[in-house]
Amino acid sequence: MTGNAITTLTKGRAGSYLVDVELKAAIDEIFVAGSYDISAIRHASYQLRLGSTVKINPFKTPGGERLDEFVDAKWQTGTNGNRYVEVQPRQTALLYTEEVFRLPSDVVGFVFCRGLLFTKALSPENTYVDPGFSGPLYITVRNESDHIVHLTKGMHLARLFVFRLCSPVSSAYATGESLGIEQQLSQIPAREFWPPHRLPSLPDVELMSAIQGGCRIGDVIEQIVKRQTRGRLWLYRPVD
């Protein structure tokens, strides 16, 4: 369905981006009512916000087994009352927007992530929104830093630029899976993964194999310390 307000506002200049005044007038043809914030319109773009759904690939279960699928992130509450999720180093997260799209078939969206994400060593994707797309959008990010990054609910994630096409597309949005587009890449482990719960049963000489086999060095050091101290606690004191 072609957006009447958008068509009227851009009459005579199809094939152009919407500016702030036009975004405000056509906002109900871009998003589902109640999911947007009119004050998030800035210049010629709309600032997408982090919604209630965040999915994270935790890499492994508490028992140490490798995990490939994404799971719902746990929301926490800070001292200031803000809700946030944590993205650990080397984790990948899917950040779903608060906004729920309902793009007409003659409109496409281009999404560019905030520079703030890059400054925190998050590696986000810039993406697009196909004509006819409906539902929340997710942005994929990966934490490339050695720090835990907090993402707050409602924070601005990216800027959406709305472009009206010269004519509606003949086929509106459909999922890649329904179109037969491959959704997974084949992969094999580069080396064996040694979960921490296997370390206590390993002979000393095999700890090096665990390091070479993919166990975290911190887990190996912890196990060595426990063996050297036979489980006793250490106390360090300054040398006189």
Give the tens place of pLDDT for each residue, 31-86. 999 999 999 999 999 999 999 999 998 765 555 555 568 889 999 999 999 999 99
In a domain, 217, yes or no: yes
For residue range 97-118, list pLDDT tens digits in order: 999 999 999 999 999 999 989 8
In a domain, 94, yes or no: yes
Indicate if the pLDDT at residue 217 is higher than 50. yes
End-to-end Cα, the chain, rounded Å: 81
Count up the domains in the chain and report the number. 2
| Chosen domain end from 145, 164, 183 | 164
Can you read off the two tokens belonging to residue 195? 């979960």
Q: What is the average per-residue pLDDT within 16-32? A: 95
Higher per-residue pLDDT: 130 or 230: 130
Q: How many CB atoms neighbour CB 45 within 10 A?
A: 22
Could you tell me the CA-to-CA distances from 30 to 41, 54, 150 in Å, in that order?
Answer: 12, 22, 29
Whether residue 197 sits in one domain with residue 158: no
- The region, left, alpha or beta by phi > 0 then psi within -120 to 50, assigned to residue 117 is alpha
Amino acid at 70: F
Whether residue 210 sits in one domain with residue 156: no
Indicate if the pLDDT at residue 235 is higher than 50. no
Residues of the domain holding 98: 4-164
In a domain, 178, yes or no: no
